[in-house]
């Protein structure tokens, strides 16, 4: 995800409206504090790691701070190797999707943040040099090696160790010895239990397909449902105590981190009218065809991943999903935002949730 991170997330001055008013919270599920991904394209790891932290709490009753950079360290060499195997004709960049973190948990495991911080202070992540080095090395491997040369991949691993640190394969945490796999199991995370959903008409409903967005470098599949069912999946999950990982388009005027909102106004003269509940503008009614047209025209793009942790309603009875962003705590809501249902319906790329959080009908249809 190559986003322009707001300056306030980087520890710089950020003016927030004194009039910002949040809607009444209906559901507020347990999650860790909002973190900042800094100057990195790793929102996929921050959002999904936060999601797994909430999952571990739901399952065990214990809240842990997991390392986001451990998943990054696992996934980056795979990106380089895949780029080389496709002769350089493949996505190569820092982005990813939620299933990459699940894959890292399955392949390697999970470690606490205190065990693996990723080579930099958590408040000052900057992967500009690392990402440039990875791209340069990947292109050099394509041009020079003529294949996936072991020596070349060893150099990639060594570079990642220098920037991020070598992954631990045993550690002590709260007085107990673990491996990453045994810690994953101890906190209750089963990588096979997570389902991904989307809603587009260029593939049939009721089947899984490889979602065609650039950061789906691992060619992960999503189960295709109708838009009403996608929205209902989130409501049902939240109402039953399950949070949701969310991939969406945020490169539009309706998404405002500073104001703490994400809305689809039908008419709004300026962003100032969004600042209080009584002045929120009317929103468009979003249907399947409207959403598909926006995706086909690439108005909707795969920009950013976040974590849905609750639901709220404003004074007019309109509902909002509450999200944890990964741009720091620099707004009136501590880094969280209120996403309108219209915005969710129009701008969602896909979601991930535990299979037990699916509706009975959807779980049966997916044979889970």
The whole-angstrom separation of Cα 196 and Cα 87 is 29
1 occurs within a structural domain:
no
186 occurs within a structural domain:
yes
97 occurs within a structural domain:
yes
Contact residues for 82 (Cβ-Cβ < 8 A; gap 6+): 90, 217, 218
The whole-angstrom separation of Cα 118 and Cα 165 is 6
Reported as a single tens digit per residue, the pLDDT across 163-180 is 999 999 999 999 999 999
Query: How confident is the model at residue 236, as a pLDDT?
Result: 98
Whether the per-residue pLDDT at 323 is higher than 70: the answer is: yes
Reported as a single tens digit per residue, the pLDDT across 332-352 is 899 999 999 999 999 999 999
Retrieve residue 260's tokens.
């703490």
Q: Give how many domains the chain has, as a whole number.
A: 1
Owning domain of residue 319: 7-366
Bridge-based pairing state of the strands 348-354 and 194-198 = antiparallel
Reported as a single tens digit per residue, the pLDDT across 285-310 is 999 999 999 999 999 999 999 999 99
60 occurs within a structural domain:
yes
Retrieve residue 291's tokens.
């959403």
**CATH code of the domain containing 48:** 3.90.70.10
122 occurs within a structural domain:
yes
Whether the per-residue pLDDT at 18 is higher than 50: the answer is: no
265 occurs within a structural domain:
yes
CA atoms within 13 A of residue 58's CA, in its CB half-sphere: 23
Partners of 192 in the β-ladder: none
Taking residues 234-258, report their average pLDDT: 95
Distances (CA, A) of 239 to 62, 138, 169, 200, 299: 20, 45, 38, 25, 31
| Ramachandran bin of 312, using left for φ above 0, alpha for ψ from -120 to 50, beta for the remaining angles | beta
153 occurs within a structural domain:
yes
Query: How confident is the model at residue 264, as a pLDDT?
Result: 86
Taking residues 81-87, report their average pLDDT: 93
Taking residues 321-337, report their average pLDDT: 94
Number of neighbours of residue 191 by Cβ within 10 angstroms: 17
Mean pLDDT of the chain: 90
Retrieve residue 76's tokens.
């980056």
208 occurs within a structural domain:
yes
At residue 277 the predicted structure's pLDDT band, cuts being 50, 70 and 90, is low
Mapping DSSP onto H, E and C, the string for the chain reads CCCCCCHHHHCCCCCCCCCCCCCEEEEECCCCCCCECCECCCHHHHHHHHHHHHHHHHHHCCCCCECHHHHHHHHHHHHHHHHHHCCCCCCCCCCCCHHHHHHHHHHCCCCECCCCCCCCCCCCCECHHHHHHHHHHHHHHHHHHCCCCHHHHHHHHHHHHHHHCCCCCCEEECCEEECHHHHHHHCCCCHHHEEEEECCCCCCCCCEEECCCCCCCCCCEEEECCHHHHHHHHHHHHHCCCCEEEEECCCCCCEECCCCEECCECCCCCHHHHCCHHHCCCECCCCHHHHHHHHHCCCCCCCEEEEEEEEEECCCCCEEEEEECCECCCCCCCCEEEEEHHHHHHHEEEEEEEHHHCCHHHHHHHCC
Query: How confident is the model at residue 146, as a pLDDT?
Result: 63
Q: What percent of the chain shows pLDDT beyond 70?
A: 90
For tokens 């842990």, the residue is: 64
């Amino acid at each position: 995800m190559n986003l322009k991170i707001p300056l306030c997330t980087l520890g710089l001055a950020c003016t927030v409206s004194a009039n910002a008013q949040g809607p009444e919270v209906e559901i507020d599920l347990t999650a860790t504090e909002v973190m900042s991904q800094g100057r990195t394209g790793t929102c996929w790891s921050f959002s999904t790691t936060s999601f797994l932290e909430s999952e571990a709490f739901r399952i065990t009753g214990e809240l842990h701070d997991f390392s986001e950079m451990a998943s990054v360290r696992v996934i980056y060499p795979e990106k380089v190797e895949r780029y080389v195997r496709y002769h350089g004709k493949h996505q190569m960049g820092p982005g990813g999707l939620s299933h990459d973190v699940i894959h890292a948990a399955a392949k390697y495991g999970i470690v606490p943040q205190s065990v693996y911080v990723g080579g930099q202070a958590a408040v000052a992540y900057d992967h500009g040099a690392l990402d440039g080095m990875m791209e340069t090395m990947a292109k050099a491997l394509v041009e020079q090696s003529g294949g996936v040369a072991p020596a070349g991949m060893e150099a990639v691993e060594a570079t990642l160790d220098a920037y991020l640190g070598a992954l631990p394969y045993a550690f002590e945490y709260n007085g107990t010895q673990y491996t990453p796999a045994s810690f994953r199991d101890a906190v209750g995370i089963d990588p096979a239990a997570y389902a991904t959903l989307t809603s587009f008409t260029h593939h049939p409903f009721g089947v899984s397909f490889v979602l065609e967005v650039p950061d789906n470098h691992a060619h992960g599949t999503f189960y295709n449902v109708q838009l009403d069912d996608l929205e209902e999946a989130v409501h049902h999950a939240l109402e039953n105590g399950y949070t949701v990982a969310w991939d969406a388009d945020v490169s539009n005027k309706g998404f405002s981190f500073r104001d703490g909102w994400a809305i689809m106004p039908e008419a709004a003269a300026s962003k100032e009218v969004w600042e209080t509940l009584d002045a929120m503008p009317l929103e468009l009614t979003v249907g399947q065809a409207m959403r598909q047209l926006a995706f086909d025209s690439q108005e909707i793009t795969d920009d950013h991943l976040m974590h849905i942790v609750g639901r709220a309603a404003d004074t007019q009875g309109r509902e909002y999903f509450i999200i944890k962003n990964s741009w720091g705590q620099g707004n009136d809501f501590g880094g969280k935002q209120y996403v309108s249902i219209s915005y969710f319906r129009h701008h969602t790329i896909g979601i991930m949730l535990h299979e037990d959080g699916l509706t009975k009908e959807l779980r049966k249809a997916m044979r889970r």
